Amino acid sequence: MPSSHEVRVLFITPEVYPLCHTGGLGDVSAALPAALRRLQTDVRLLLPGYPQVLAGVKYKSKVAEFNELSQFLPSTLLSARLSLSKSENIPVFIINCPGLFGRAGGPYIDTFGHAWPDNALRFGLLSKIGAILASDASPIAWRPDIVHCNDWQSGLTPAYLHFYQGKKAATVITIHNLAFQGIFPPGSVVQLGLPEDSFDIHGVEYHGNLSFLKAGLYYADHITTVSPNYAEEIQTESQGSGLQGLLAARRRHLTGITNGIATSDWNPATDPHLARNYSSETLSDKVANKSALQQQMGLAVDADLPLFATISRLSHQKGIDLLIQIAPQLVKIPAQLIILGSDEAGLSHQLSQLIQTYPKAIAIYIGFNEALSHLIEAGADCFLMPSRFEPCGLNQMYSQRYGTPPVVHATGGLVDTVVDCTSATLADGSASGFLFAPITADNLLNTIKRAARAYHNKKIWQRLQKNGMAKDFSWHASATAYQEIYRSLLS
Ligand code: ADP
Ligand code: GLC
């Protein structure tokens, strides 16, 4: 078994911060490899060559050509460095295939919100090249001991490797979100060069179709997901998205590891996007961010009104429809509300009606805005996450670090990262937010009211803020847990 600093990991991901990210997977794909590298693991990323990736990396050089993969368009493999900060960068491999990745729009959808029709080929190629680089058929000298896949987009890598006879790396797949499975028609199996008999319940087949994610979960040596509580939930019928049987059968090879956060990017003491920096010792400076935020969003500038906010994909998963439902009562508390999000569920019309009715109390920004997301974490008093399910969630951790206690549905990783405010948890110093269940509009509203009452008790509120700010959400512990899994697979 290689000693820890010799372990080589190919980390395959369809998105990475800051070049291309639609959600938490992008954040994780930068921060986890960086943390593993600090623990002397040689991690390198494999990414699709979207235009923003090709434009955003340094020191690109061609290291291989793939002209003979009969199912796919010809592509080249580039080696480059991705800068995460002035002092930190990660080696990346990029698949340059303009026919599949060189287009405007999102990584998975076009500018009208429709899935790219050739997604099976696009992410089939990502999976296939990942498998080649992880085998003794690789055209490059650097060979990983472990190939670490993420979500459905690299789910076929473990399947390709399973059917490869030569020497190959061990495989890990991380589920960031079981709701997205990469389902394609049965004909894709042969089109992507998988053996016909892999199209079986004991294989890549899922209700008559090919499922990229199921392929990964079936063939990978180890499965991880992004919180211990979600690891349990996905083995049940209500949260298993039809894969609960397979996941329960593989439970000895399934581990929940809570994500960390990039504590240098998300630090209120140094964050360049804030109106004023602050720490738990200078919490009174936080209010300068609240006034700046209220002003920027056109709300009444009022230091005493509790300001609730959320930053999220506006999807069914995130429970934004419930928030829209209770928004008029939230305003009556009285309180203010800010929503920042990209619309995935056609909610823009209802949201704009809310702003028209309550222009000084509710503000909404539709779109992706990194700088605003930082100012909101600092300027809001309380962060809202009424997610129906949440594999881990990052914003509730950012908000605790920013002294902005979260109100969250007691689900998935939110249970593992937020401690409900009660007299007992206030006394033992663990209280850091507000949890509710089951998920109903009434429960959400009542918990928001509970938070508003606590907000007006300055002593309690400060205790909550300081407890959250003192928590260690760094990647170190999670990266160490991943490292242990890699080692166990190699021993
Ligand atoms: P998910 O991956 O399910 O979308 P997470 O909480 O894990 O949820 O991660 C969401 C990430 O995306 C966070 O870093 C969040 O701040 C960011 N984000 C989501 N929507 C926006 C937006 N509209 N503008 C800026 N950042 C956003
Ligand atoms: C997914 C999940 C989210 C998680 C993120 C990163 O998008 O929805 O809960 O934090 O991946 O693992």
CA angle 281-274-429, nearest 5°? 35
Name the residue at shortest CA distance from atom 5 of ligand 2: 24
Per-residue confidence band for 35, with pLDDT thresholds at 50, 70 and 90: very high
Q: Report the pocket of ligand 2 as residue ranges, CB < 6 Å.
A: 23-25, 28, 176-177, 226, 259, 390-394
Which tokens in the block code for residue 408? 């969250």
Tell me the β-bridge partners of 406. Answer: 383
pLDDT over 50 at 83, yes or no: yes
pLDDT over 50 at 87, yes or no: yes
Q: What is the distance in A from the centroid of ligand 1 to the CA of 368?
A: 9
Closest ligand (CA of 398): 1
Which tokens in the block code for residue 233? 């939930």
* CA–CA dist 482, 98 (Å, integer): 33
Q: What is the distance in A from the centroid of ligand 1 to the CA of 390?
A: 12
Task: Look over the chain and give the mean of its residue pLDDT values, rounded to a whole number.
Answer: 96
Q: How many alpha carbons lie under 13 Å from residue 172 in its C-beta half-sphere? A: 29
Which tokens in the block code for residue 397? 């951790």
Per-residue confidence band for 2, with pLDDT thresholds at 50, 70 and 90: low
pLDDT value of residue 348: 81
Percent of the chain with pLDDT over 90: 91
Counting ligand 1 atoms within 8 A of each CB, the residue from 265, 315, 373 with the most, and so the one to mutate, is 373
CB 43 within 8 A of CB 27: no
Q: What is the distance in A from the centroid of ligand 2 to the CA of 23?
A: 7
pLDDT value of residue 353: 93
What number of other Cβ atoms are within 10 A of residue 20's Cβ? 20
Question: 278 vs 267, 275, 282, 283, CA distance in Å?
Answer: 9, 10, 5, 6
pTM of the model: 0.96
312-371: per-residue pLDDT in tens? 999 899 999 999 999 999 999 999 999 999 877 678 888 989 999 999 999 999 988 999
Per-residue confidence band for 1, with pLDDT thresholds at 50, 70 and 90: low
390-443: per-residue pLDDT in tens? 999 999 999 999 999 999 999 999 999 999 999 999 999 999 999 999 999 999
Tell me the β-bridge partners of 314. Answer: 343
| 164 pocket-lining for ligand 1 (C-beta < 6 Å) | no
| 319 pocket-lining for ligand 1 (C-beta < 6 Å) | no
Q: What is the distance in A from the centroid of ligand 1 to the CA of 263?
A: 16
Nearest to 68 by CA among 108, 128, 17, 19: 128
Q: What are the percentages of helix, strand and coil residues in the chain, rounded to 5?
A: 40, 20, 40
Q: Which domains does the chain have, with CATH numbers?
A: 4-260+475-490 (3.40.50.2000), 283-469 (3.40.50.2000)
Per-residue confidence band for 70, with pLDDT thresholds at 50, 70 and 90: confident
431-479: per-residue pLDDT in tens? 999 999 999 999 999 999 999 999 999 999 999 999 999 999 999 999 9
pLDDT over 50 at 252, yes or no: yes
* CA–CA dist 253, 172 (Å, integer): 10
160-179: per-residue pLDDT in tens? 999 999 999 999 999 999 99
Q: What is the distance in A from the centroid of ligand 1 to the CA of 311?
A: 6
pLDDT over 70 at 3, yes or no: no
271-303: per-residue pLDDT in tens? 999 999 999 999 999 999 999 999 999 999 999
pLDDT value of residue 4: 45
Nearest to 340 by CA among 410, 289, 293: 293
Counting ligand 2 atoms within 8 A of each CB, the residue from 176, 310, 414 with the most, and so the one to mutate, is 176
Q: Which long-range contacts (CB under 8 A, 24 or more apart) does 294-301 make?
A: 294/336, 294/379, 296/372, 296/375, 297/338, 297/363, 297/365, 298/359, 298/360, 298/363, 299/336, 299/338, 299/360, 299/361, 299/362, 299/363, 300/336, 300/360, 300/361
Counting ligand 1 atoms within 8 A of each CB, the residue from 28, 394, 399 with the most, and so the one to mutate, is 394
CB 135 within 8 A of CB 127: no
Per-residue confidence band for 23, with pLDDT thresholds at 50, 70 and 90: confident
307-326: per-residue pLDDT in tens? 999 999 998 999 999 999 99
